[in-house]
Amino acid sequence: MDPISLCLLAAGLVKQIQAGCELYRSAKESFVEIKATAEEIIDAGKQAHGFWVQLLAFFGSKPKPQAAKPVAKNKKSAYVAVDETQVKVDIVKNLTEFFKLQEQLAAHIREEEEKSKTVYDPDQNLMEAALKRTMAMQEMAALEVTIRETMVYQSPPEMGALFSAVHEMKEVIEEEQTKARLKQEAKKRQEAWQLRQEERNLQAKLAAVVVTTLFLLYLWLWLLLINRWGKT
């Protein structure tokens, strides 16, 4: 896939990650607001009840025991229920897809660099290729910075912890994949070298067979001539 196309897909994923973080932040803030409001109502009721108890005790009256009144529940329509776990799952999924595109871009650039070193293309536009590589790498790096700033600085703390955990695991996997790739490339080079050696050995054997055949033919002709001279 073209580097610019990869960046466009990555930018779309970043938008989804930002939207997920905003949804998660809104859900957390709404929950805190509801909880704080309920606690304020309870505290105010307790304070008012304590005041009347003290006042009646001062005048020598005993307060009548009051039945506990059910606390009115908040209207469900005031806030939309959000599954925070599902929001996290969606964000991790989009992060995974983003890092996949990032790796695809890196693999594409490595492939183009290797091709440029080994295959001559007279029709290649060097400036266009350089611009595409540079712009794609810069854009992908900027998108990763946007993700980090969104999750670490513009979201609840658990989002920053989630990004850090995912990014650390990504670096571990990236290091593992780099080692595996280098090992695989070394194996391919070894196999290519062995194939070239086998071809050289085969060519040497064919050359030896040809030389031996020519030598035997020459020897046979020489003996045939000597035999005829002996008869004459």
Tokens of 27: 């859900």
Q: How many CB atoms lie within 10 A of CB 181?
A: 12
Tokens of 57: 């005790």
pLDDT value of position 167: 81
Q: Are 78 and 38 in contact (CB under 8 A)?
A: no
Average confidence score pLDDT of the chain: 77
Domain coordinates in residue numbering, the chain: 3-155
Distance CA 116, CA 105 (A): 16
**Neighbouring residues of 49: CB distance < 8 A, sequence distance ≥ 6:** 66
Distance CA 230, CA 223 (A): 10
Q: What is the 3-state secondary structure (H, E, C) of 63-88?
A: CCCCCCCCCCCCCHHHCCCCCHHHHH
150 pLDDT higher than 90: yes
Residue 74, φ and ψ in degrees, nearest 5: -70, 150
For 68-91, what is the mean pLDDT? 65
pLDDT value of position 50: 53
Inter-CA distances, 84 with 19, 35, 154, 171, Å:
13, 17, 17, 26
- Say which residue the tokens 């989002």 belong to: 159
State the Cα torsion 192-194-198-199 to the nearest 10°.
20
Distance CA 65, CA 49 (A): 11
Interval 91-143: pLDDT, tens: 989 998 998 898 888 888 888 777 777 766 676 666 777 788 888 889 999 99
Distance CA 168, CA 132 (A): 29
Residue 127, φ and ψ in degrees, nearest 5: -65, -40
Helix (H) or strand (E) holding 119: none
Interval 13-58: pLDDT, tens: 999 999 999 988 888 777 555 455 555 545 555 554 454 455 445 4
Interval 175-194: pLDDT, tens: 888 888 888 888 888 888 88
Higher pLDDT, 12 or 4: 12
